[in-house]
Amino acid sequence: MDLLIFYFFAGLAMIAAMGVVAVRSAVYSALCLAVVFVSLAALYVLLSAPFIAVAQVMIYAGAILILFVFVIMMLSPGVDQGAGALKRQRPLAIVFGLALVIELLAVLAVAGLPAARGTFTPEKIAQIGSVQAVGAALFTDFLLPFEITSLLLLVAIIGVIVLAKKPRKG
């Protein structure tokens, strides 16, 4: 049953990801991206990480995608005009993309995976609670990265305000 759910959402994610790249209109690309985000959230549930799944839907599908759609509506870039300056770039990109897939799969096939070494089995996470377990890790072992993230967000806010400000005359 789990395998069936996996194949369904994995196929959906792959088709939608190809849609993001292949579809002409930017709005349709954004819609395809929403499908990718939601199917990945479903896969996170399958991996017994419900907190990450909810965060995925809220932040990616909720905030980031809405921002994309806002900017698409504001700029209304219309349809992509095709190859443009570099005619040979498109087929070359597809060849290199396939090479990248083969390379990544070869690495996976060659490299052995280490044995499980932690104690957080899905049963234990379910017992503690997904949010509690991730939160405890975030506020003990990863406190410094967490604090630095707040600094990063502050810098992003300031940067966006500076960029969005009307340029001064003269």
Partner 1 sequence: MTVHHFIILSAILFSIGAVGVLVRRNPLIMFMSVELMLNSVNLAFVAFSRYLQVLDGQVFVFLILAVAAAEVAVGLAIIVAIFRTRETVDVDEISGLKG
Interface of this chain with partner 1, residues 100 to 139, rule: CB under 8 A: 100-101, 104-105, 108, 113-114, 116-122, 125, 133-134, 137-138
- How many other CB atoms are found less than 10 A from the CB of residue 81? 7
Q: Which of residues 1-40 bind partner 1 (CB under 8 A)?
A: 2-3, 6, 10, 13-14, 17-18, 20-21, 26, 29-30, 33, 36-37, 40
Q: Based on CB atoms, which residue is closest to partner 1, 21 or 127?
A: 21
Token pair 């089995």 is found at 121
Say how far apart CA 161 and CA 56 lie, in whole Å.
26
- Based on the shown chain and the rule CB under 8 A, indicate whether residue 47 belongs to the binding site for partner 1: yes
Task: Using only the alpha carbons of the chain, give its radius of gyration.
Answer: 21
CA 88 to chain centre: 29
Q: How far is the CB of 101 from partner 1 (least distance, A)?
A: 4
Figure out which of the listed residues 8, 73, 96, 127 binds partner 1, where binding follows CB under 8 A: 96
- Based on the shown chain and the rule CB under 8 A, indicate whether residue 72 belongs to the binding site for partner 1: yes
Instruction: Let me know: does 125 contact 48? Beta carbons within 8 Å.
Output: yes
- Based on the shown chain and the rule CB under 8 A, indicate whether residue 57 belongs to the binding site for partner 1: no
Q: Which of residues 145-164 bind partner 1 (CB under 8 A)?
A: 145-146, 149, 152-153, 155-157, 159-160, 163-164
Q: How far is the CB of 169 from partner 1 (least distance, A)?
A: 14
Exposure string of 17-43, with b = 16+ CB inside 10 Å and e = fewer, is bebbeebeebeebbebbbbbbbbbbbb
Q: Which residues pair with 79 in a beta bridge?
A: 25
